[in-house]
Structure 1
Amino acid sequence: MIRPATPSDVPTIMRFVRELADYERAADKVVATEALLTDALFGPQPAAYAAIAERDGEPAGMALWFFNFSTWTGWRGLYLEDLYVTPEARGTGLGKALLRYLAGVALDSGCARFEWSVLDWNAPAIAFYDSVGAESMDEWTVRRVSGPALLALADRD
């Protein structure tokens, strides 16, 4: 079963975020708190949305996403920030069910595309995404400005 997340799911979402970061070899990068996630997901102007996947009545995975916009298409898009399935639930179809759920959200929300990023070393995830028809956008690279560079760019250091 996949359902929209509720405020009572925030501790579970935070646990899944930490487990995913640990898997991605970046546990030290997680600075989010339950309070920040609660505001981002359920505050007056949500910045993101989440769904919980359950197996045998227990949370076993999640998807967290937000909407973006393409000037090329003139339509909004859905960007999957995090997809996580617990190790014991992997291989059961839960990940594919979450992607299917989000594809439906994208279509119901008038999105022209559904996108996400994957670490280049994560071969199991890449193979999984290939199996559902996702195409690699190899000609694009992600650029990021954060921390001191963000402050400097905004001339606020």
Structure 2
Amino acid sequence: MIRTANPTDIPVIHALIRELAAYEKEPQEARATPEQLHEALFGEHPGAYAHIATDDTTGEPVGFALWFLNFSTWRGVHGIYLEDLYVRPTARGTGHGKALLTELARICAARGYERLEWSVLNWNTPSIAFYKSLGARPQDEWTVYRLTDDALSTLAGN
């Protein structure tokens, strides 16, 4: 079962983010606080959205998708950028990841969005195989660049 996250889900979303960071071998980078997540998802001007995957039997959360809108200047419409997709190891292979992506695809279709995009670590071959099985294709001609921490501060003139 997939449902839209609500404010009471903040603790589980926070926990799932930390689990994802550990899986991606970067636990120290997961610095978001529950308060920051609440503001981003449910504050006065939310800029992100989340869906929760729950166990069909117990109703317990087993995964999540956290996303935001992007915009294609070439197509002239919004799309969805999937920031995080994570399903707990005990629930993998049971359709929760596909169900989360299906829900985001449905949102795209209903709203006229023409893209659903995300990034995946090159070493994460199980996820890459899963995404390819759904028809997703890597954008190999693009390289992601990122400014953070000192480099971002330096460029900003701080």
- Name the TM-score class by shorter chain: over 0.9
The residue aligned with 1:65 is: 67
| TM value normalised by structure 1 | 0.97
Distance in 1 (CA, whole Å) between partners of 2:44 and 2:32 is 19
Aligned twin of 2:45: 45
Q: 1:140 & 1:109 partners in 2: Cα distance? A: 26
Superposed structure 1 runs of 4+ greater than 6 Å apart: none
In structure 2, the partner of 1:78 is: 80
2:150 and 2:28 mapped to 1: Cα distance? 18
1:112 aligned counterpart, secondary structure: coil
Q: Name the CA distance, whole Å, in 1 between partners of 2:98 and 2:30.
A: 26
CA RMSD of aligned residues (A): 0.7
Percent identity between matched residues is 57
Distance 1:109 1:48 in 2: 16
1:27 aligns with 2:27: yes
Residue 137 of structure 1 aligns to a residue whose secondary structure is coil
Moved more, 139-148 or 116-125: 139-148
For structure 1, the 5+ residue unaligned runs are none
Size of the aligned set, in residue pairs, is 156
Matches within 5 A, 1:78-157: 78-155=80-157, 157=158
**TM-score of the two chains, using structure 2 as the length reference:** 0.97
Structure 2: segments with no counterpart, 5+ residues = none
1:105-148 per-residue CA deviation (whole Å, 9 max, x = no partner) reads 12222211000000000000000000000001011010011112
